[in-house]
Amino acid sequence: MKITALICGGGNGAHVLAGLAPAQPDVEARVLTLFADEAERWTKAMEGKDFSVDCHAGGKVTNVVGKPSIVTKDPAKAAPGVDIIVFTVPAFAHAGYLEALKPYVKPGLVLVGCPGQAGFEFAVRGIWGEAAKGVTIMSFESLPWACRFLEFGRKAEVLGTKGTLQGAVNAGCTAPPMDATAMLQKVLGPLPKLLTSGHLIGITLMATNGYLHPSIMCGHWEKWDGKTMQEPPLFYNGVSKESAQLLSDVSDEVVATAKTLEEKCKGVCMGNVSHMYQWYLRCYGNDIDDKTDLYTCIKTNRAYKGLTHPCTANEDGSFSPNFGYRYMTEDLPFGIVVMRGVATIAGVPTPHMDRIIYWGQKLMGKEYLVDGELKGKDIPSTRSPQAYGINTLEALMGL
């Protein structure tokens, strides 16, 4: 059967999927990008020209040509008649797309967060309301590829494709025209192989950047004395044992949350949640020189070579930490605060998450935690379950 897919976004992932999807048999691809004039520029760039993706694999490069049927910022032109919608935008942009698409939600629709990132399902239910009940929601832990666009609206490049991609599915009350996982596989092509299991909450808890980045930031800068540096310090490969321990402690809280939910909610599988150490072995096993523990996994991960802490250059050539970077501004409200919200409902204590949130919110001038509770004035701007009025196990897991 023919599948009509709507790709939301205008960045690297959207460019790759806009080329790969229409190259698959019986797939029509459309693009909706709401940012500024991206749709207009993309459309103009494709006029009379092919759209192509260079795919690197096994030392060879395969050129794939596949042109989306429309690129627009008007959901009324993009959304009618689509079978599957794929979000390839950061978490902070999801709400804008959900609001724009709300009038076009239909029973049997499949909505994919790729990646969904923490709290994706809460945002969908909170914004789409009753209409979301007929929608099958899928969430995945990351993009399928390491990729970039080479020429806006014309050409993209896949530097590497994951062999497998972990995700979870929450079936809507109206079945899609074909199995949701099979439908997305048809849109992506043969790789990566999609593996869907466990509860959607498991993918929220395994949105690892949401606590990986804040843990390392807090561990490194919590006692910063305000002195500038001659160069930005290494972020991953420069991690300290203390920072790695903080990350491990937070990961313990995440695992405890999943285990408690599984124990309290009969029939719920949270087997898609694992400790950060196991996650590193699974995702970066071939890139790690020393797999002794979490600290050595991060310290010797060749995939992280040269990546530094976000810093701002000063007039004298020195550097200061940039606390306005996404590792803070996104990974707190759309990451660790969400996980803290789930842990709260599960009844799991989170002293290590709290340490990071208190530190981070003070630097950003935000208020999430107050007296040990998620009742700060900025909670509505997060994707925590509490932001959508979800405060019980029944409401949380019933999603």
Ranges of each domain in the chain: 3-197, 208-397
For 203-214, letters b (16+ CB in 10 Å) and e give bbbbbbbbbbbb
- Asked if 39 and 72 count as a contact pair (C-beta separation under 8 A), the reply is yes
- Euclidean distance between CA atoms 360 and 380, whole angstroms: 17
- Asked if 113 and 139 count as a contact pair (C-beta separation under 8 A), the reply is yes
Of the listed 15, 213, 220, 309, which one is catalytic?
213
pLDDT in the model for residue 58: 86
- Euclidean distance between CA atoms 326 and 328, whole angstroms: 5
Clarify whether 94 is annotated catalytic. Answer: no
- Asked if 168 and 130 count as a contact pair (C-beta separation under 8 A), the reply is no
User: Under CATH, to which class is 208-397 assigned?
Assistant: mainly alpha
Whose structure tokens read 């804008």? 96
Whose structure tokens read 């709260």? 344
φ, ψ at 8 (rounded to 5°): -105, 120
Domains 3-197 and 208-397 share a fold: no
Q: Where are the extended beta strands (E) located within the chain?
A: 3-8, 27-32, 52-57, 60-65, 70-72, 84-87, 110-113, 136-140, 145-151, 155-161, 164-170, 193-196, 311-313, 319-321, 369-370, 373-374
CATH topology of domain 3-197: Rossmann fold (3.40.50)
Pick the closest to residue 385 from 151, 250, 200, 224 (CA basis): 200
Residue 235, phi-psi category: left (phi > 0), alpha (psi -120 to 50), beta (remainder): alpha
* Per-residue confidence in pLDDT tens, the chain, 399 aa: 999 999 999 999 999 999 999 999 999 999 999 999 999 999 999 999 989 999 998 889 999 999 999 999 999 999 999 999 999 999 999 999 999 999 999 999 999 999 999 999 999 999 999 999 999 999 999 999 989 999 999 999 999 999 899 999 999 999 999 999 999 999 999 999 999 999 999 999 999 999 999 999 999 999 999 999 999 999 999 999 999 999 999 999 999 999 999 999 999 999 999 999 999 999 898 899 999 999 999 999 998 999 999 999 999 999 999 999 999 999 999 999 999 999 999 999 999 999 999 999 999 999 999 999 999 999 999 999 999 999 999 999 875
CB atoms within 10 A of CB 312: 14
The token duo for 30 is: 């459309």
